[in-house]
Amino acid sequence: MSKDEINSRVKKVIAHVLDVNVPEITDTAHFVTDLGASSIQSISLVAGFEEEFNIEMEEDKSLQVQTVSEAVTFINSYL
């Protein structure tokens, strides 16, 4: 799977969980400061990524991921 495809699917999950439009989500967007994610939504993002990519991520490490591009790189390491 290409990083572009991962990026697209990550943004789809973010849009769904945080109720934002995909075009508003930049690669450098920070989940909390730019996209307004609460701590509960951060956990929901991890669950959404796991479901979307059919992977199981290490919770502590996954919650340290702060931006869209970091999420893409992190998820890519599991695929």
- The confidence score (pLDDT) of residue 59 equals 85
**CATH of 3-74 among 3.40.50.970, 1.10.1200.10, 3.30.2350.10, 3.40.50.2300:** 1.10.1200.10
Query: What is the sign of the dihedral through the CA atoms of 21, 27, 31 and 35?
Result: negative
What are the residue ranges spanned by the domains of the chain?
Answer: 3-74
Alpha-carbon span 64 to 20, nearest angstrom: 21
- The confidence score (pLDDT) of residue 63 equals 87
Question: Which pLDDT tens digits describe the chain residue by residue (79 residues)?
Answer: 999 999 999 999 999 999 999 999 999 999 999 999 999 999 999 999 999 999 999 988 998 999 999 999 999 999 9
